[in-house]
Amino acid sequence: MARDIVDDRLIGALHLRALTRAGFDHDPVHEHQVVQAGTIDALLQGKYDSDITLAEVMRMGDLGIGTIQKLDGELMILDGHAWVAGSDTVLREVPLTTRTPFAVACMFTPSVTHEINEPMAWDDLTALIDSLAAPDASVVAVRIDGDFDDIGLRSVARQTPPYPPLVDVVAHQTTWHVPNARGTLLGFRFPDATAGVEVPGYHLHFLSDDRTTGGHVLSLVVRHGTVAVDDCDDVHVALPAGVKLGTPGVTDRDAIASAEGDHAH
């Protein structure tokens, strides 16, 4: 195991460990531990191929977001299934043999839940999640089941080599609008000190209950629903072949913000 650990460090209260794929496959599953395939910096550089499968990620996590091989859409992992929203706005379930250059997941074990009974847009919603999270929580996983209005979604198109950088792909992203839907909002809040390895700030995806729509969320209003928050203090990153961890916190934040939306500051 020791030789499979590529990097092991503390960032404030957060334990960040990078592992080889083999090390990741033997990594024990823990609650309040986030697992991740790849890094956002590698994705920004156009590294859209990976040797890590969704099955390997989902052994370690039942709630997650990301993308799949060749950047072929926006990924939602929920309740043992993996769904991808393509740039054609169509949602499809994908086999767990599908590979992923970037995915973040956890065995979702909420420490707190809260009922929302009045309409709340992005800023109020994320402020609420901040207030529900433990004051010292470094990474927060969140799941909100409810009714949503004015959902702004985006997805990106499957790429062919030579791959362009993510910012160029996102310049041609598909955005669409769902007037209202019952479903699940899921994702993570990462601290700025992990920028580059991760998307700092909130990164949320949506999956409708009827499994007809979903994607990377740009904006929305939650009408009512249940917020569940899982405070995490451990992140294990599986590095695909050819991907390095880099230096957490040292990255082009503007590039991440323009690729992942204005929320990623």
Tokens of 226: 């249940």
Please give the distance of CA 68 from its chain centroid, rounded to a whole number.
12
Give the total residue count for the chain: 265
- Minimum distance from residue 26 beta carbon to Zn ion (Å): 28
- Minimum distance from residue 68 beta carbon to Zn ion (Å): 12
Closer CB to Zn ion, 17 or 216, in the complex: 216
- Minimum distance from residue 216 beta carbon to Zn ion (Å): 4
Closer CB to Zn ion, 27 or 82, in the complex: 82
Give the x-and-dash track for 214-243 against Zn ion (CB under 5 A). Answer: --x---------------------------
The rounded distance, in Å, linking the Cα atoms of 38 and 244 is 9
Torsional class of 46: left (φ above 0), alpha (ψ -120 to 50), beta (otherwise): left
Residue nearest to Zn ion (CB): 216
Pairing mode, if any, of strands 139-155 and 120-121?
unpaired
3-state secondary structure of 137: coil
Q: Which of these, 59, 55, 60, 54, lies nearest to 73 by C-alpha position?
A: 54
Closer CB to Zn ion, 143 or 216, in the complex: 216
Closer CB to Zn ion, 17 or 181, in the complex: 181
- Minimum distance from residue 215 beta carbon to Zn ion (Å): 8
- Minimum distance from residue 19 beta carbon to Zn ion (Å): 23
Closer CB to Zn ion, 203 or 236, in the complex: 203
- Count of CB atoms within 10 A of residue 65's CB? 24
Instruction: Please give the residues from 179 up to 218 whose contact with Zn ion meets the rule CB under 5 A.
Output: 216
Give the x-and-dash track for 22-41 against Zn ion (CB under 5 A). Answer: --------------------
Q: Which of these, 146, 47, 144, 58, lies nearest to 94 by C-alpha position?
A: 58
Site of interaction with Zn ion (CB under 5 A): 216
